[in-house]
Amino acid sequence: MKKLTAQGMRDMFLGFFKEKDHAIIASGSVIPENDPTVLFTTAGMHPLVPYLMGQPHPAGKRLANVQKSIRTGDIDSVGNESHLTFFEMLGNWSLGDYFKKEMIPWSWEFLTSDKYLGIPVDRLAVSVFEGDENAPRDDESADIWACCGMPRERIFFLGKEENWWGPAGLTGPCGPDTEMFYITDKEPCSNTCSPACSCGRYLEIWNDVFMQYNKTAEGNYETMAHKNVDTGMGLERVLCVMNGVKSVYETELFVPIIQKIEELSGADYAIASETDRRAIRIIADHMRTATFILGDDMGVSPSNVDQGYVLRRLIRRAVRFGMQLGMEEGFTKELAQVVIEEYSGAYPELTRNSAFVLEQLILEEERFQRTLRQGTRMFERALSKLPEDAKTIPGEDAFRLYDTYGFPIEMTVEMANENGLDVDIADFEHRFKEHQQKSQQGAQQRFKGGLADNSEQTTKLHTATHLLQAALRKVLGDEVAQKGSNITAERLRFDFSFGRKVTKEELAEVERLVNEAIQANAPVTSEEMTLDEAREKGAIGLFEDRYGEKVKVYTIEGFSVEVCGGPHVENTGEIGSFKIKKEESSSAGVRRIRAVIGE
Ligand code: SER
């Protein structure tokens, strides 16, 4: 197979699509600029959602790029052989332009032609959608693959789990995809071995999504007039395949980072124990991701909420594993320097923001070291409280050390052993699982609100959004329900179900009602209650998505009662004034209003 460098691969992909008349667009930020419902940009399509929904893109209908992407999921379990928290996604898009009969032959050409990847055909397999009650079997794609030269026995028909790309939210563009796989030397695991199983025989390298349906609020799938294509190829994965290395960590992208870890720790990746090798991988992965988050122009720094929280976890987890390898304080900035140097050509923002990256890492390492020292004192106190003949440290103490002081359980066990004690691991794990569930629910709730930040201006706009929804329901009726909300310090954007254009007169009336509520300087109060109590109180809100027993209900006396996580102003008067800037269609049956305050 062709040996490729990372830059060679980026250039080859973009060059190919440039030849097919695509505009090459820049990578978006790793922090989504227009979608506060998720923390990080997870794929190349993510920043393009408005254009996939029909808004014209200034660069045209054919686009391609390399997108910085982050998927953190459950951070505590990342760091295995293949999982990366940061990756680069090579992607191309058709915005209502070409479709399957162009895209599949292009994928074929790029994968098999000697001018491009030149992968032997017998090393390739593809999967297509097998069909279900909502959408037919994708024979069209299968036939095009066969026509290109893909043997029928390596065209697998798979179900929705594997070959369907859902809408970004509950409604919107969606459709079948076709995935391309590299066949490794691993023997089939069974007679039914297919790209759907995880035995390692089939490695996914590319995914062409064909957005041909619009999922409506009623759950129907309508064929879209403007069909989109959205493809994604993971750079690290494809480099791994092309260069015949066993893991992404052995690709050129990781070599300099791992070398630096070896230099600073004295470990040797090639012959390290499985535990140490895992530690090296985790440090390399986390420091690369942390550098890209800090190095983004959005200027996120470690904190206890949102992106800052994930960033903090990544850095601290890297530090913990660094300590395990005996690395000295201050190593994170040294690794960040390697990342910056390596990636500065492709991502100049890293150089631009390098001082910030290094300074933040130094600060966060210091803070963490302080916490660790406090934790050690807490450990000693816990120890002194145990009865003379105690043999184990209770799970409760071990968990507090983990949760409050960031002590990895391994470290607590080690310290316990040094004192001739064990740790009640079963109890610790029980508490840990409980905590994980809670924090996942917390994360879900935190980002439902659609707030970009918690600034004063955003808070005011958030309260204004409640007034807007209440006024819309008063003027247009109960058919109005929130479908989405996106609030930045500059403006609010509110999507709601309603079947037609809202008239000028209706908008004027909505605006008048909101301003009336502002002038009334009504108090905004909140109360915790069960979902049932909230319903009884007539609260509106996204009930289906709530977890747990209790919800918070915000009441604006005389105007609105709504389930919500906050934050809000104390009195509506703080909002000043309210003005609707625009009303438009967002998708079928959904309208969108943009409004500002205090003008
Ligand atoms: N959105 C698809 C993916 O993430 C294709 O880009 O795989």
Give per-residue pLDDT as tens, 239-258. 999 999 988 999 999 999 99
Residue 51: pLDDT band by 50, 70, 90 thresholds? confident
Is any atom of ligand 1 closer than 6 Å to the C-beta of 79?
A: no
The confidence band for 573, taking pLDDT boundaries of 50, 70 and 90, is very high
pLDDT at 581: 94
Task: Give the three-class secondary structure for 87.
Answer: strand
Whether 84 is in the pocket of ligand 1, judged by its Cβ within 6 Å, is: no
> What is the predicted pLDDT for the residue at 530?
75
State the average pLDDT over residues 440-444.
48
Listed residue (540, 482, 408, 484) closest to 76, CA to CA? 408
Please state, for a pLDDT cut of 90, what percent of the chain lies above it.
Answer: 62
Tell me the backbone φ, ψ of residue 373, rounded to 5 degrees: -65, -45
Write down the pLDDT at residue 544: 43
Does the beta carbon of 43 lie inside 6 Å of ligand 1?
A: yes
Pocket test for ligand 1, best of 63, 67, 89 (most atoms within 8 A of CB): 89
| Confidence at 64, pLDDT banded by 50, 70, 90 | very high
* Residue nearest to ligand 1 atom 7, measured at CA: 232
| pLDDT exceeds cutoff 90 at 168 | no
Ligand 1 geometric centre to CA of 33 (Å): 19
428 Cβ contact partners less than 8 Å away, ≥ 6 residues apart: 395, 398, 399, 402, 409
Question: What does the pLDDT read at residue 53?
Answer: 80
User: Phi and psi dihedrals of 334, rounded to 5?
Assistant: -65, -40
Phi, psi of 196 (to 5 degrees): -80, -15
Pair 213, 221: CB distance under 8 Å: yes
Residue 450 has pLDDT above 80, yes or no: no
Gap between the Cα atoms of 260 and 197, Å rounded: 36
Does residue 542 have a pLDDT over 60? Answer: no
Query: Whose alpha carbon is nearest atom 3 of ligand 1?
Result: 232
What residue ranges define each of the domains in the chain, with the CATH number in brackets?
Answer: 6-248 (3.30.930.10), 250-446 (no CATH), 454-598 (3.30.980.10)
Q: Band the pLDDT of 80: cuts 50, 70, 90.
A: low
User: In this predicted structure, what is the pLDDT of residue 454?
Assistant: 63
Q: Which residues contact 420 (CB under 8 A, 6 or more apart)?
A: none
Backbone φ and ψ for 424, nearest 5 degrees, come out as -75, 85
Tell me how far apart the alpha carbons of residues 300 and 204 are, in angstroms, rounded to a whole number: 32
**Has residue 466 got a pLDDT over 90?**
yes
Residue 79: band (very low, low, confident or very high) from pLDDT cuts 50, 70, 90 = low
pLDDT of residue 407: 79
Reported as a pLDDT band with limits 50, 70 and 90, residue 547 is: very low
Residue 314, ligand 1, Cβ within 6 A: no
Residue 34's pLDDT is 63
Distance from Cα 162 to the centre of ligand 1, integer Å: 12
**Listed ranges 164-173, 503-512, 559-568; the one with the highest mean pLDDT:** 503-512
Mean pLDDT within 91-97 = 97
Q: For residue 288, how many C-alpha atoms fall within 13 Å in the half-sphere facing its CB?
A: 30
pLDDT band at 449, cuts 50/70/90? very low
- What is the token pair recorded at 224? 């879209």
Residue 287 identity (one-letter amino acid): M
Q: What is the mean pLDDT of residues 20-35?
A: 88
188-202, 212-226, 436-450: lowest mean pLDDT where?
Answer: 436-450
Q: How far is the CA of 231 from the centre of ligand 1 (A)?
A: 6
- Nearest atom in ligand 1 to the alpha carbon of residue 91 is 6
**Sequence-ordered alpha helix ranges (H) in 295-353:** 306-324, 331-343, 349-352
Examine the pLDDT at 113 and tell me if it is beyond 90. yes
Which tens digits make up the pLDDT trace of 485-511? 888 878 899 989 898 999 999 999 999
pTM: 0.70
Please work out whether the CB of residue 231 comes within 6 Å of at least one atom of ligand 1: yes
Residue 422 is predicted with a pLDDT of 94
Percentage of residues of the chain with pLDDT beyond 70? 92
Q: What are phi and psi of 29, to 5 degrees?
A: -65, 155
What count of other Cβ atoms lies within 10 Å of the Cβ of residue 177? 23
Distance from C-alpha of 111 to C-alpha of 128, rounded to nearest angstrom: 17
Q: Is the minimum distance from the CB of 175 to ligand 1 under 6 angstroms?
A: no
Four-residue CA torsion sign, 290, 295, 296, 301: positive
Q: Name which residue leads in pLDDT, 544 or 209.
A: 209
Average pLDDT over residues 371-380: 87
Q: Residues 108, 50, 583, CA angle at the centre, nearest 5°? A: 155
The pLDDT, as a whole number, for residue 545 is 39
Structure tokens at 296: 């983004």
What distances in angstroms separate CA 115 from CA 16, 19, 182, 496, 582, one per listed residue?
A: 10, 13, 18, 50, 49
Whole-number Å distance between alpha carbons of 513 and 527: 25
pLDDT by residue (tens digit) across 175-208?
999 999 999 999 999 999 999 988 889 999 999 9
Whether 209 is in the pocket of ligand 1, judged by its Cβ within 6 Å, is yes
Q: Could you count the other beta carbons within 10 Å of the beta carbon of residue 499?
A: 10
- Predicted local confidence at residue 402, as pLDDT: 85
The confidence score (pLDDT) of residue 434 equals: 85
Whether 44 contacts 216, CB under 8 Å: no
Mean pLDDT of 42-50: 87
Tokens of 69: 């992407």
Pocket test for ligand 1, best of 231, 236, 237, 238 (most atoms within 8 A of CB): 231
Taking the centre of ligand 1 as the mean of its atom positions, its distance from the CA of residue 523, in whole angstroms, is 46
- Tell me if 565 sits within 8 A of 454, measured CB to CB: no
Q: For residue 129, which of 209, 50, 187 has the smallest C-alpha distance?
A: 209
Burial class (CB within 10 angstroms; exposed 0-12, middle 13-18, buried 19+) of 230: buried
- The better pLDDT of the pair 308, 546 is held by 308
Calculate the average pLDDT of the chain.
Answer: 89
